[in-house]
Amino acid sequence: MSQQRVKECGHLLKDQGIPFTVQRRLVLEGVLSLKNHPTADQVYREVVSRIPGLSRATVYRTLETFARLGVITKLDHAGRAVRFDGRVDGHHHLICVRCDSVFDLSDQRLDDLPRPDTSAMGFEVTELRVQARGVCRACRDSRPSDESI
Partner DNA sequence: TTAAGTGCAAAAGCTTTGCGGGTAG
Partner DNA sequence: CTACCCGCAAAGCTTTTGCACTTAA
**Where along the sequence are the contacts to DNA (CB under 7 A)?**
18-19, 21-24, 39-41, 51, 53-58, 60-62, 64, 80-82
Residues 6+ apart with CB under 8 A from 130: 92, 93, 105, 107, 110, 113
107 lines the binding site for a second copy (CB under 8 A): yes
Near a second copy by CB under 8 A: residue from 126, 143, 145, 147: 126
Minimum Å gap between C-beta 39 and a second copy is 12
57 lines the binding site for a second copy (CB under 8 A): no
Minimum Å gap between C-beta 53 and DNA is 5
Instruction: Report the distance separating Cα 111 and Cα 129, nearest Å.
Output: 9
Cα 7–Cα 91–Cα 122 angle in degrees, nearest 5 = 110
Residues 6+ apart with CB under 8 A from 111: 90
Instruction: Report the distance separating Cα 19 and Cα 11, nearest Å.
Output: 10
Q: Tell me which stretch binds a second copy (CB under 8 A): 19-27, 35-43, 50-58, 104-112.
A: 104-112
Q: Which of 70, 56, 54, 67 is nearest to 21 (CA)?
A: 54
Minimum Å gap between C-beta 128 and DNA is 24
**Footprint of a second copy (CB under 8 A):** 68, 74-78, 80, 82, 92, 94-97, 103, 105, 107, 109-110, 113-118, 121-137, 140, 149
